[in-house]
Amino acid sequence: MTIHPTILSVPAPEGLQPRCAEARTRVVSNTPVNGEYHLLTLDAPAEVLACQPGQFFQLLCPEPEGEHPYLRRPMSIYGYDAEAGQLQFLYKVTGAGTRGLATLKSGDGLNVLGPLGQGFTMPAERKNLLLLARGVGLATLAPLARMAQQQGRRLTAICSARRPELAMSVDLFLSYGAEVIVVHDGDGSATPEALRSVIEAQIAQGRVDAFYTCGSARLLRLLQELGAKHNIPGEVAMEQQMACGLGMCQACVRSFREGDQVVHRRVCREGPVFPISEAIA
């Protein structure tokens, strides 16, 4: 199957990547991971595989029976492999768009637009990374873990879930050489208070010089407090409802701290990744 991408030039602030691609991809597989999540693997052209961890795509979801999703569905990248020509998304069926995604079968086509937004950074001085997220937020951090392994960084991944069997990407993080800590609601280990003790212990052992997280407001607040206390920087991938995903509609504007001022930025264009210290949970 020949995939013909369309290159789009999108206005962007100085220094930001202005180009993305629209392409029709082909479904390789679309399988349940556990009781809540599905893994979608696509054959995709090189033009949409020049990705960074933390970026996202806008997916033109098929229409499930009796429903008509109006907008594309923003979806963070779970995996990308330019050599294999594949792109992956991990999703939970929650609305019309993801119900449409769940109907896709091997061989079906799917229109995607991306990669979009600004991804995670990994400055050379960050040698010991701590990743903390809950549920599908861990999907956003999976490409970052792969990059950490490729660059020889030490990695600790704390995977939070309602139940242990719902903790996402544990085996994937282990395959990247991470120390994996699973916490869940059932035994109280996923509370901010319990997590504070776990992370403080990691810091005391010299195992953390950068934080990375996604999604959860309470986890963001916890890392902001610990970062300020121990002078540890970090980044957060923000979640926000979007319409165009290109920065034109202004639907995803959020407030951020910049020094002693509050400024407004588009999550889809200036983000979705921002410094933890600047985010307002």
Assess whether 78 and 171 both reside in one domain: no
Q: Go through 138-172 and write b for each residue having 16 or more CB atoms within 10 A of its CB, e for each that does not.
A: bbbbbbbbbbbbeeebbbbbbbbbeeeebbbbbeb
Mean pLDDT of the region 241-256: 93
Look at the chain and report how many structural domains it folds into. Answer: 2
Q: Is 75 among the annotated ligand-binding positions? A: yes
CA quadruple 227, 129, 173, 196: dihedral, nearest 10: -30
Mean pLDDT of the region 67-86: 92
pLDDT in tens, 133-182: 998 788 899 999 999 999 999 999 999 988 888 887 899 999 999 999 99
Mean pLDDT of the region 77-88: 96
CATH number at residue 175: 3.40.50.80
Helix, strand, coil abundance in the chain, percent, nearest 5: 20, 35, 40
Q: Confirm whether 55 is domain-assigned.
A: yes
For the cut 50, the answer to whether the pLDDT of residue 9 exceeds it is: no
- Of 116, 151, 176, the last residue of a domain is 116
* Residue 169 tokens, joined: 């990407």
- Of 56, 84, 116, the last residue of a domain is 116
Q: Is 51 among the annotated ligand-binding positions? A: no
Measured CA distances, 58 to 108, 151, 174, 246 (Å): 17, 29, 29, 9
Q: Residue 19: what pLDDT?
A: 67
For the cut 90, the answer to whether the pLDDT of residue 270 exceeds it is: yes
Q: Residue 33: what pLDDT?
A: 86
For the cut 70, the answer to whether the pLDDT of residue 7 exceeds it is: no
- Provide the phi-psi class of 114: left if phi over 0, else alpha when psi is between -120 and 50, else beta: left
Q: Is 74 among the annotated ligand-binding positions? A: yes
Q: Which residues pair with 246 in a beta bridge?
A: none
Q: Confirm whether 260 is domain-assigned.
A: no
For the cut 90, the answer to whether the pLDDT of residue 104 exceeds it is: yes
CATH number at residue 111: 2.40.30.10
Assess whether 38 and 92 both reside in one domain: yes
Q: Is 214 among the annotated ligand-binding positions? A: no
φ/ψ (deg, to 5) at 207: -100, 5
pTM to 2 decimal places: 0.89
Q: Is 20 among the annotated ligand-binding positions? A: no
Q: Is 2 among the annotated ligand-binding positions? A: no
Assess whether 133 and 109 both reside in one domain: no
Domain range for 142 = 128-240
Q: Confirm whether 258 is domain-assigned.
A: no
pLDDT in tens, 28-40: 999 998 778 899 9
Q: Is 97 among the annotated ligand-binding positions? A: yes
For the cut 90, the answer to whether the pLDDT of residue 42 exceeds it is: yes
For the cut 50, the answer to whether the pLDDT of residue 60 exceeds it is: yes
For the cut 60, the answer to whether the pLDDT of residue 16 exceeds it is: no
Q: Residue 12: what pLDDT?
A: 44
Map residue 201 onto helix, strand or coil.
helix
Q: Is 252 among the annotated ligand-binding positions? A: yes
Q: Is 159 among the annotated ligand-binding positions? A: no
Assess whether 10 and 61 both reside in one domain: yes
Q: Is 98 among the annotated ligand-binding positions? A: yes
Q: Confirm whether 161 is domain-assigned.
A: yes
Q: Residue 70: what pLDDT?
A: 81
Which has the closest alpha carbon to 142: 123, 167, 125?
A: 167
* Residue 167 tokens, joined: 């903790």
The DSSP letter of residue 45 is -
Between CA 10 and CA 49 the distance in angstroms is: 18
Q: Residue 11: what pLDDT?
A: 45
φ/ψ (deg, to 5) at 58: -105, 115
Assess whether 70 and 164 both reside in one domain: no
Mean residue pLDDT of the chain comes to: 91
